Amino acid sequence: MDFFDLANKRRSIRKFTDEEVPEEVIEKSLKTALLAANSSNLQPWEFYWIKDENKKEELIKACFSQNAAKTAKELVVAVSRIDTWKRNKNLLINHYKEKDKLIPLVEKYYNTLVPLQYYYDPFGISTIIRKIILFFFSFIGFFKPIARGPSNKHELFEIVTKTTALACQNIMMSLVAQGYDSCPMEGFDKTRVKKLLNLNNKSHIVMVLGIGKRDPKGIYGDRFRINEELVIKIVD
């Protein structure tokens, strides 16, 4: 299949068959996720492949025991984080140094601008400082484009979550390419899932992916999309 065939075949499957999914299929899909486009190449994602049967049962319950979770042969939890930027930033800089490609502009970006955007302290002091800086910069915005965020934890989570969602799409498309399917679930008790995975308050559950071979009755209805004229806007 070419890409457009994959895009047309991908559906959210609500019921899977009993056919097992080979481990190499999941491994390949997860590695494909890591190739996704992401903000500043900081890769603020984690993917938890739940293999322990007891934890899988807990996760199914946390997903309200919906069919897409109960019948899935594999479950993967996609998590975005705002506390891995410093580690990943240093890994990236070291990579550039090893390749002798760390130019001053890149080093300044990652050691100055990225910390200014991503640093977050539990007392909210960094948020106040950012808001003050952005307030004064807003006057410059009358004359030229400027960066207007992120200024708080919520906006930072928005950035890392968008990035992680892009990676999830890679997983879903990779599964279709290998003859399997998925269902991205947003219906879950996030507190229970975070407890199950021992995650802190600097992490966010983006979605839970149920994975398996589609059951003929696993698609609950015909694909419906609203008229493209309502959502595709041509700016002449």
**pLDDT tens-digit series, residues 205-227:** 999 999 999 999 999 999 999 99
What tokens appear for 70 in the block?
């109960």
**Segment (H or E) for 32:** helix 23-33
Q: What percent of the chain has pLDDT over 90?
A: 83
Architecture of domain 3-83+154-230: 3-Layer(aba) Sandwich (3.40)
pLDDT at 133 over 90: no
Place 147 in a pLDDT band, splitting at 50, 70 and 90: confident
pLDDT at 125 over 90: no
Sorted by sequence, the CB contacts under 8 Å of residue 186 that are 6+ apart come out as: 207
Place 78 in a pLDDT band, splitting at 50, 70 and 90: very high
Place 46 in a pLDDT band, splitting at 50, 70 and 90: very high
104-129: average pLDDT: 88
What tokens appear for 36 in the block?
């996704």
pLDDT at 51 over 90: yes
Q: What integer pLDDT is reported at residue 87 of this predicted model?
A: 97
pTM of the complete model beyond 0.75:
yes
Count of CB atoms situated within 10 Å of the CB of 219: 15
Q: What integer pLDDT is reported at residue 173 of this predicted model?
A: 98
165-192: average pLDDT: 98
Of residues 116 and 191, more confidently modeled: 191
Nearest to 218 by CA among 73, 76, 77: 73
Count of CB atoms situated within 10 Å of the CB of 74: 22
pLDDT at 139 over 90: no
Amino acid at 88: N
90-104: average pLDDT: 95
